[in-house]
């Protein structure tokens, strides 16, 4: 890629992503959706101003790693421990039900596929994309309703944290299947070995950072070494354990989240992400999505995909909440609150694409899911709270509200 | 480039650059030198762990643009106006004398070359590399001696700011010569047109940012749009005016330096630079430098290059200071204070390489110059101040000390 082209592409991507992102926010849609649409507009679908070159692909790849590292940096082990059984059960079923329903949806459209075939991999990847809740929009909506600290609110936020971890575990296993020589057992073994490795290395890293935090608090070397750890863990995970690089990045974030300087690291990473790599990643999703590939079949599939993804969370989380003693209305609130999807769904889809387990035409479905869920959830939550206030759960053990909410 | 390779390379570059940078700082050498040596060590010269791929080249390119943008963001037009005639004269001769001496040095080694030939371009590029003073180490040394606010100190800092601007102008003209169809007149015309364009656009940008600063102070959009302006100006400069992209980036910085939020922008840019792009650029210089290319001829040339570059500044700045009424000892201090070179010399060399006006073997000379000047200057300044305190210049018009010092 010519260096002039590079400057031109970067300028166009940054300015269009920011502009469309701001418009999206004005329309109460997620900013990410605006950035993707910017990519669609400047890409081959419409204006054809920017090509998805190897360089842009590489930058987007770094963007994905940084986003997952950032997500890990928000996952405090302390908060995880405090979550309690209820939120854990809500989260687990909130992952498993969409995973199964999504897999079945794909098979319903394209025919049954037995385990071990390529088609099965594609089907389960569709399920996998549906698993990751992105709770920030729900948190915003609950905050505006003044219900963030209620029992329903804390359950949702706690469940969303666990949801991330279970989602990553499921994704790691599913991506492990891409290698035809692997079976579920060997993938599970490698994944387990990686986590053992991560615990060991993580402990050492934690100790070293504790020393560094004391000797040189808030110095540049801390986020820089953090970044190097993120890249190293991503590399090691994929190279030596067959575990997805994004899992490695996420785990690197979780490890560093326990250190004293984790907020300082997160802030610096965040700047790197939102200034350049994040917009490039989201725009690159748009660049890869050629709307001219759209046909009636994909359109129907996308609508069914969105419906199943939303209903899957409502069933998975809502029914579990009901079984755990929530009232019917409050169970529905929990289910609806967990419906929102965001960046992670895209990251999973991108990973599926680059590992040959997903075609790029399904990006449209994922984009639709993010936009629709982000618009519908706050509206539904408001209606639900207006119709029925939250029941009284003073008898039940309140989960401790994590710092993240 | 494989995505795993990319993660591995980034991890190695970041960690080795930081590590060697810290060692360099411990040894009172510039951190940049450490980062370059890291590149030498991990590159083909020694360990051969990382290759200088297209992707790394692209990242380094962005690094250069961001560094020049950052330099521009430190160049306040208000400070420039206050600099006064004395500092301007010191700076001008401090650029012209090394430019001429460097050109002659090359011709002395490789034979006389008439204007318009390739060899002449190479010769003047060697001169060009010698022009840019990097004053940060001198500022540090003067601060430690308690002499930063003296007449000599303010003259040096003011001259260094002007030096940047004159250096950029000279570089722009020299790089304009690379196109064989251009003559000095047409290059000067295009350069002038670009500056007219920059003033016009700059005024509009300034007005828009003034409005944005008022409506949304310290919001993310401000540095993001700033970054987009940086990339756009770089592109427009090179594409439509034949002016180097780094000049465009520098000018974008100068424009934004006048806005209220310039410190906020500079801080965010700085994080992007030091975390990832800066280390990659400096390490990539090391990656491109194959020490096995070294031979006796280049070694002699490098030593002569360092000597001429140091003496050039002492003559250019020192003799001018003497003519302007400084005592002999203080003139020497001014000359010695202006001797230090840094990032900009490397950026110029890199630009010369990518425009085919310099061979990569001369990187060694530039690296040597940066290291030696940064080590020698503080020592010499200390000796000079210990031998003779600063004379009394209360009769002379004191230049206003710019904020940057």
pLDDT digits (tens, 9 = 90+) for B231-245: 999 999 989 998 888
Query: Roughly what angle, to the nearest 10 degrees, separates helices A84-110 and A118-129?
Result: 140
Provide mean pLDDT across the span A224-246. 92
Distances (CA, A) of B215 to B211, B252, B261: 6, 22, 12
pLDDT confidence tier of residue A395, bands split at 50, 70 and 90: low
Nearest in space to B317 (alpha carbons), one of B174, B170, B155: B155
Provide mean pLDDT across the span B237-265. 90
Provide mean pLDDT across the span A19-48. 88
Nearest residue of A to residue B354, measured between CA atoms: A3
What is the per-residue pLDDT for A405?
38
Given an 8 Å threshold on Cβ–Cβ distance, is B223 in contact with A275? yes
> Sign of dihedral through CA atoms B351, B356, B358, B361?
positive
Nearest in space to A69 (alpha carbons), one of A136, A164, A160, A159: A164
Nearest residue of B to residue A55, measured between CA atoms: B55
Q: Using one digit for the tens of pLDDT, what is the confidence trace for B349-399? A: 988 988 889 988 898 899 899 989 988 998 999 999 988 888 888 766 655
Q: Using one digit for the tens of pLDDT, what is the confidence trace for B304-342? A: 999 999 999 999 999 999 999 999 999 999 999 999 998
User: Tokens 């000892």 correspond to what residue?
Assistant: B329
- Nearest beta carbon to residue B275 from set A15, A227, A245: A227
What is the per-residue pLDDT for A145?
86
Given an 8 Å threshold on Cβ–Cβ distance, is B268 in contact with A275? yes
Given an 8 Å threshold on Cβ–Cβ distance, is A4 in contact with B239? yes
CA pair distance A124, A107, nearest whole angstrom: 9
**Do residues A298 and A364 lie in contact, with contact meaning Cβ atoms separated by under 8 Å?**
yes
Which ipTM value was assigned to this complex? 0.84
Give the residue extent of every domain in chain B: 3-388
CA pair distance B147, B337, nearest whole angstrom: 12
Write the CB contacts of A381 (distance below 8 Å, at least 6 apart in sequence): A138, A141, A142, A145, A333, A336, A337
Given an 8 Å threshold on Cβ–Cβ distance, is B272 in contact with A268? no
| Sheet strands (E) in B182-326 | none
CA pair distance B364, B349, nearest whole angstrom: 11
Residue B296 CA, distance from chain mean position: 28
- In B74-150, where does DSSP find H-type helix? 77-82, 84-110, 118-129, 136-145
DSSP letter, residue B205: H
The tokens of A202 are what? 């993580």
**Beta-carbon contacts below 8 Å between A and B:** 116
**Do residues A264 and A222 lie in contact, with contact meaning Cβ atoms separated by under 8 Å?**
yes
Multiple choice CATH, A3-388, 1.10.3720.10, 3.30.70.1400, 1.20.58.220, 1.20.1530.20: 1.20.1530.20
**Is residue A64 pLDDT above 60, yes or no?**
yes
CA pair distance B325, B312, nearest whole angstrom: 20
CA pair distance B369, B87, nearest whole angstrom: 24
Question: How many angstroms away from the CA of A22 is the closest CA of chain B?
Answer: 9
Q: Using one digit for the tens of pLDDT, what is the confidence trace for A191-208? A: 899 999 999 999 999 999
User: Tokens 């022009």 correspond to what residue?
Assistant: B131
- Nearest beta carbon to residue B231 from set A7, A18, A22: A7
pLDDT confidence tier of residue B401, bands split at 50, 70 and 90: low
The tokens of A11 are what? 């300028």
Given an 8 Å threshold on Cβ–Cβ distance, is B234 in contact with A274? no
- Nearest beta carbon to residue A58 from set B55, B228, B272: B55
CA pair distance A133, A312, nearest whole angstrom: 11
- Nearest beta carbon to residue B10 from set A18, A231, A279: A231
Distance from the first to the final alpha carbon of chain A: 43
CA pair distance B9, A235, nearest whole angstrom: 10
Distances (CA, A) of A120 to A103, A215, B359: 8, 52, 55
Given an 8 Å threshold on Cβ–Cβ distance, is A235 in contact with B1? no
What is the per-residue pLDDT for A32?
83
Distances (CA, A) of B205 to A13, B218, B219, B223: 19, 17, 17, 13
Question: How many angstroms away from the CA of A234 is the closest CA of chain B?
Answer: 7
**Do residues A15 and B229 lie in contact, with contact meaning Cβ atoms separated by under 8 Å?**
no
**Do residues B105 and B304 lie in contact, with contact meaning Cβ atoms separated by under 8 Å?**
yes
**Is residue A186 pLDDT above 70, yes or no?**
yes
Given an 8 Å threshold on Cβ–Cβ distance, is A225 in contact with B15? yes
């Amino acid at each position: 890629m010519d260096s002039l082209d590079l400057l031109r592409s970067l300028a166009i991507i940054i300015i269009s992503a920011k502009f469309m992102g701001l418009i999206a926010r004005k329309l109460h849609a997620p900013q990410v959706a605006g950035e993707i649409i910017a990519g669609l507009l400047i890409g081959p679908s419409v204006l054809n101003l920017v090509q998805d070159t190897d360089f842009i692909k590489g930058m987007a790849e770094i963007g994905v790693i940084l986003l997952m590292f950032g997500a890990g940096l928000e996952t405090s082990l302390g908060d995880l421990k405090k979550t309690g059984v209820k939120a854990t059960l809500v989260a687990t079923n909130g992952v498993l039900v969409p995973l199964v329903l999504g897999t079945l949806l794909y098979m319903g459209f394209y025919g049954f596929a037995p385990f071990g075939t390529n088609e099965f991999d594609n089907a389960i990847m569709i399920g996998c994309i549906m698993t990751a809740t992105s709770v920030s929009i729900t948190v915003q909506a609950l905050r505006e309703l003044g219900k963030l600290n209620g029992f329903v609110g804390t359950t949702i936020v706690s469940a969303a944290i666990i949801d991330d971890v279970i989602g990553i575990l499921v994704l790691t296993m599913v991506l492990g299947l891409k290698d035809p020589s692997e079976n579920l057992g060997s993938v599970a073994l490698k994944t387990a070995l990686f986590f053992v490795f991560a615990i060991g290395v993580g402990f050492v890293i934690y100790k070293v950072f504790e020393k560094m935090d004391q000797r040189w608090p808030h110095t540049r070397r801390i986020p820089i070494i953090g970044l190097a750890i993120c890249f190293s863990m991503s590399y090691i995970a994929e190279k030596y354990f067959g575990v997805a690089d994004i899992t490695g990045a996420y785990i690197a974030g979780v490890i560093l989240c326990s250190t004293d300087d984790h907020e300082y690291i997160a802030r610096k990473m965040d700047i790197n992400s939102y200034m350049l790599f994040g917009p490039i990643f989201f725009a690159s999703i748009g660049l890869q999505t050629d709307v001219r590939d759209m046909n009636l079949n994909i359109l129907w599939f996308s609508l069914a995909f969105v419906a199943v993804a939303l209903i899957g969370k409502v069933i998975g989380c809502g029914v579990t909440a009901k079984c755990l003693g929530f009232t019917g209305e409050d169970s529905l609130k929990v289910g609806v609150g967990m419906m929102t999807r965001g960046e992670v769904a895209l990251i999973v889809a991108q990973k599926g694409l680059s590992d040959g387990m997903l075609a790029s035409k399904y990006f449209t479905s994922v984009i639709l899911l993010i936009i629709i869920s982000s618009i519908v959830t706050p509206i539904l939550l408001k209606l639900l709270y207006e119709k029925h206030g939250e029941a009284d759960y003073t008898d039940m053990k309140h989960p401790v509200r994590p710092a993240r909410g």
